[in-house]
Amino acid sequence: MAEAHEGREAGPARLASVLLENGALTSDWLPAYEAVPREAFVPDVFWPGRGGARQGRAIDRTAEPEAWREAVYSDRSLTTQYDDGAHTGPEPGTSPSCSNSQPTMVFSMLATLDAAPGHKALEVGTGTGWCTALLCERLGSPHVFTVEVDPQNAQWARQALRRKGYAPTTVVGDGAEGYAPAAPYDRVLFTASVRDVPQAAVRQTRPGGLIVAPYAPTYGAGAVVQLTVGEDGTASGPFVGGASFMRLRQQRSNRRHTREYLAGNDWPADAVRSRTALSPEDVGDWLPMFVLGLRTSGVFPWAEQYGDTGAYTLWLRDEAVTSWATVDYDPDVTEFVVYQDGPRHLWDEVEAAFAWWTEQGRPGYARFGLTVAPDGIHTPWLDSPLNPVKASAREGLVWPTPPVA
Ligand SMILES: C[S@@+](CC[C@H](N)C(=O)[O-])C[C@H]1O[C@@H](n2cnc3c(N)ncnc32)[C@H](O)[C@@H]1O
């Protein structure tokens, strides 16, 4: 779709037409979009995300003003921090830890939040402040509260907000705690992904209020969920579409290196060898990965690439560091070699989860939902809360809570 807009000068009008055309920007959010220029919330140096000519290496506004503007008014996320600020230099760091989110995602989430004048909103993950400013424009600054864990990010956003005349309550702290002094909220928006919806967010939302969050199980692929809080303190609702967000800092997975699983041995050590007809390619798209995340527990994938051959090894590991599996993908074969080690047979779990999804007719995001009970138990479901999606570990196995990374 973006191609149709190529040739037009990079700017807010071009990006607006992309967002209107793909449906992310709704007419009720258009005035806020027009009043809050994205460029006012983007630092001079950032690493542009996927989807454009320039990707990866940082763009510096001073050196490349046109490339900078082109990227700012493209439908791409712009990474503004790697590795919690420890990374510097033009090359990308290891893990993105702050970004000005992809505009399509920002406006889809705002539409899902259904925030309107008269609402009081809490945002978790101030980031660059762009989304905060959009909320201020729509709801009025006194009705917007935003929490950011990283003091540097918070400071930068606060200045940008002030320069544009917005004065929300900005808090430096762990957004998983919410912000109790201003509760209850009509709307709570997470702009960092969660694998557990923090209980504070549920408690601080009024009955009938909405929580919108990118929810991503340990497997990694996430989707935006829209939860309605009930009188009894339960929060429940549907997923609306796939989403890729950086994690809430305190909920990062315990991802240990493969050598810790091999315990000093060379791969494949004494793992059990088998073959599978299920291609790692079939389980590698975002939607199946999201479903695998709902149906497995504490498992995460990683692809070890081998140059440009197209071949790779899919690694599966568990957070408890008890089990691992590998599947060798080769574009020229139809059966793939599997090794599994440890008490859990992780590839078998993934295969079973994929088979279950296939038996259900490969449902998309919108047929799934999530219920968070007042005691914090999370239950994903298919079509109805009465039809829970059971994960491998929820069917009898209990895994220890991983330490916070
Ligand atoms: C994708 S960025 C937010 C994008 C932002 N809404 C914007 O418009 O620019 C995610 C942000 O969440 C912050 N974050 C991560 N964990 C957090 C936590 N526990 N509490 C508050 N903020 C957190 C990160 O530091 C980062 O700035």
What is the position in ligand 1's atom list of the atom closest to the CA of 100? 9
Which candidate, 75, 76, 93, 74, places its Cα nearest to that of 84? 93
Pick the CATH number of 103-250 from 3.40.50.150, 1.20.58.220, 3.10.580.10, 3.40.1110.10: 3.40.50.150
* Choice among 99, 101, 193, 253 that is catalytic: 101
Q: How far is the CA of 172 from the centre of ligand 1 (A)?
A: 11
Q: How far is the CA of 387 from the centre of ligand 1 (A)?
A: 33
Say what the pLDDT of residue 54 is. 64
The CA distance from 188 to 124, in Å, is 8
Q: How far is the CA of 63 from the centre of ligand 1 (A)?
A: 28
**202-211: average pLDDT:** 98
What is the position in ligand 1's atom list of the atom closest to the CA of 77? 1
- In three state form, how does the secondary structure of 330-360 look? CCCCCCEEEEEECCCCHHHHHHHHHHHHHHC
Q: Is the separation of the CB atoms in 101 and 127 below 8 Å?
A: yes
Tell me how many degrees the CA angle 182-184-190 measures, rounded to the nearest 5.
85
Question: Where do the structural domains in the chain lie, given as residue ranges?
Answer: 2-100, 103-250, 258-359
**pLDDT tens by residue, 284-306:** 999 999 999 999 999 999 999 99
What is the position in ligand 1's atom list of the atom closest to the CA of 176? 19
Q: How far is the CA of 359 from the centre of ligand 1 (A)?
A: 37
Say what the pLDDT of residue 399 is. 37
**pLDDT tens by residue, 378-395:** 999 999 999 999 876 544
Q: Is the separation of the CB atoms in 54 and 47 below 8 Å?
A: no
User: Does the annotation mark 97 as catalytic?
Assistant: no
pLDDT-derived band at 397 (thresholds 50, 70, 90) equals: very low
Say what the pLDDT of residue 339 is. 98
Q: pTM of the prediction?
A: 0.94
Does 150 contact ligand 1 (Cβ within 6 A)?
Answer: yes
> Which residues of 65-140 form beta strands (DSSP E)?
78-82, 96-100, 121-124
Token code pair at residue 55? 């990707």
Say what the pLDDT of residue 390 is. 86
Pick the CATH number of 258-359 from 1.10.3210.50, 3.40.50.970, 3.30.420.40, 3.30.160.690: 3.30.160.690
Q: Please say whether the dihedral angle defined by the alpha carbons of residues 34, 97, 197 and 24, taken in this order, is positive or negative.
A: positive
Does 189 contact ligand 1 (Cβ within 6 A)?
Answer: no
Tell me how many degrees the CA angle 259-262-268 measures, rounded to the nearest 5.
115
Instruction: Note whether 103-250 and 258-359 share their fold.
Output: no
Inform me whether the pLDDT recorded for 176 exceeds 90. yes
- Which mutation among 126, 128, 164 tests ligand 1's pocket best, with the greatest number of atoms within 8 A of CB? 126
pLDDT-derived band at 309 (thresholds 50, 70, 90) equals: confident
Does 105 contact ligand 1 (Cβ within 6 A)?
Answer: no
Q: How far is the CA of 402 from the centre of ligand 1 (A)?
A: 22
Does 122 contact ligand 1 (Cβ within 6 A)?
Answer: no
Q: Is the separation of the CB atoms in 312 and 280 below 8 Å?
A: yes
What is the position in ligand 1's atom list of the atom closest to the CA of 130? 8
The CA distance from 40 to 47, in Å, is 16
The pLDDT mean for the chain works out to 93
Does 156 contact ligand 1 (Cβ within 6 A)?
Answer: no
The CA distance from 161 to 77, in Å, is 19
Residue 202, SS3? helix
Does 175 contact ligand 1 (Cβ within 6 A)?
Answer: yes
Q: How far is the CA of 286 from the centre of ligand 1 (A)?
A: 22
Inform me whether the pLDDT recorded for 4 exceeds 60. no
Residue nearest to atom 12 of ligand 1 (CA): 125
- Please, which residues have CB within 8 angstroms of residue 70's CB and are 6 or more apart in sequence? 10, 52, 54
Q: How far is the CA of 249 from the centre of ligand 1 (A)?
A: 8
Does 252 contact ligand 1 (Cβ within 6 A)?
Answer: no
Which candidate, 155, 152, 173, places its Cα nearest to that of 163? 155
For residue 272, CA distances in Å to 220, 326, 327, 380 come to: 26, 10, 12, 32
For residue 40, CA distances in Å to 108, 129, 131 come to: 21, 9, 12
Does 127 contact ligand 1 (Cβ within 6 A)?
Answer: yes
**98-126: average pLDDT:** 98
**95-111: average pLDDT:** 96
Q: Edge to edge, what strands does the sheet with 185-190 contain?
A: 169-172, 144-148, 121-124, 185-190, 205-215, 222-229, 235-243, 368-372, 378-382
Does 124 contact ligand 1 (Cβ within 6 A)?
Answer: yes
312 membership: H or E segment, kind and range: strand 312-318
Does 161 contact ligand 1 (Cβ within 6 A)?
Answer: no
Inform me whether the pLDDT recorded for 2 exceeds 70. no
Residue 75, SS3? coil
